[in-house]
Amino acid sequence: MGDLPLFNPDDDPVEGPPPPAVAALRQQLRQSEGILISTPEYAGALPGPLVNLLDWTVGGGETYGMPVGFVNAAGRAAPTGGTSAHASLRTILGYTGSEIVEAACPRVPVHRADIGKDGLIANHEAREEIASAFAALAERAMRDDQEGG
């Protein structure tokens, strides 16, 4: 994400290559069977760098029909609990033609105290909910793969 230039449609010509970091991102997406986005909500919205990355996917078409999930692990004290981030992702992913896998889109409240010294979520229920999101996305991607999609 840090290598992507700020989105500018003039830098994404219909004919000709996009900037190298954008070309690399799009190549990674073409090789993917699904996408799971994990993001906090920042100031009531998505973090700017993630929006920039998503902006570069709108014109490329690599995620059209691709199964996508998103997890927000905002703390319970967050004003919207991640609702605004989820709504923004739905809007942007609608423009890319991505297939939103609802079971892979939980909002999982996690307190700072739920994070262990190893950096992992120690709260068993939260871990299970996130694991279920991964499983739902993987199941959908495998079904597409088996159907030749």
The residue ranges of every structural domain in the chain are 9-147
Quickly name the fold that domain 9-147 has: Rossmann fold (3.40.50)
Span 43-55, pLDDT tens digits: 888 899 999 999 9
Q: What is the pLDDT of residue 138?
A: 95
| pTM for the whole structure | 0.85
Burial 42-68 (b: 16+ CB within 10 A, else e): eeeebeeebeebbbbbbbbebbeebbb
Half-sphere exposure in the Cβ direction for 80 (13 Å, CA): 15
Model confidence band, residue 147 (pLDDT cutoffs 50, 70, 90): confident
Structure tokens at 132: 């279920």
